[in-house]
Amino acid sequence: HEQVGVNKFKQFDCVVDYSDHYYYHQSKPNQKCNSHGTMMINNRNTMKRIMKEWEILEKNLPASIFVRVYEGRIDLLRAAIIGASKTPYHNGLFFFDLQFPSDYPNNPPKVYYRSFGLRLNPNLYNSGYVCLSLLNTWGGKGTERWCPDKSTILQVLLSLQGLVLNEKPYYNEPGIKPAWSWESYNADVFALSCKTMLYLMKKPARNFECFIAAHFRDHASVILKACVAYRNGRVRIGLFDGDAPVGSKKKKVNVSKKFKDSMNELYPELYKAFNRIGASLKNLPEKLEDDGDGKPANGIIGKLKRFWEAMTA
């Protein structure tokens, strides 16, 4: 990848290539396209509203959301959301493909999450289905649901970032739940977020190739340090702020064997992937060899510890 910084990547831009967009490949029974695949919108109000949406996005996107619209298909849009700090999604990238319906804004946009077959949130299915009141794909009242006169694409993206990709996604699923289980869920979420990073670097979304590489070059060190800190139980998953030293021995929270094993597997894969794109990985190990108490995981104590965990699991 050409080493272009994230700060040089426009937050909003109009591009040409939509060939890997999810909705480009879906059947379009209510839409007419010319021989070049360009959407033909007969409804002038829909056209004007889409143009207004573009203007709103160009002027008001927060620094953590990037959008691409398409010159030849104004009904399509792609958004990248950076996972917020103080969540298990921190420093991750999450891509959504959107489509304006032909009667927009009477009906909300269709939204597809590029999941790679992983379900890292109750609202984001591994099929790509997005469950959200604002999209009328989940129950809601009043302003929680799509309102043609007031709701916007920007509101949808902010809801995905703030309400869906939040600090305790475990509670996004309705119903009474044990209070302690959110931490276990966050552990699974962080591991799936790491897997998503690997998939994105292997098969980046079109028109975001340089952005994905630049983002992970910038954040590789913090992501890897978070893997170590979480795996060794030094901080609750989702709360790593990038300052905890990798060699710290003090344990703060209990960590399941399942999560430790997932980090032992994912960490070296992330290290290699980050190294390939030119990230600075100074003073970071290529794999996790410390079990959190300062003793080698492959030593006799580490072997005995794993044997005991296996016997008592």
Residue 10: CB atoms within 10 A of its CB come to 12
For residues 52 and 46, what is the distance between their CA atoms, to the nearest angstrom? 10
Q: DSSP characters for 214-275?
A: HHHHHHHHHHHHHHHHHHTTSS-TT---S-S-TT-----S---HHHHHHHHHHHHHHHHHHH
End-to-end distance of the chain based on CA atoms, in angstroms?
A: 44
**Closest to 270 in 3D by CA, of 307, 216, 231:** 216
List alpha helices for 130-237, DSSP H: 153-159, 181-202, 209-231
Query: Known catalytic residue: 131?
Result: yes
Whether 67 contacts 167, CB under 8 Å: no
Q: Which of 14, 131, 147, 194 is catalytic?
A: 131
Contact 217, 279 (CB under 8 A): yes
Q: Any idea how long the chain is?
A: 313
Residue-wise DSSP of 260-285: HHHHHHHHHHHHHHHHHTT---TT--
Which residues participate in catalysis according to the annotation? Answer: 131
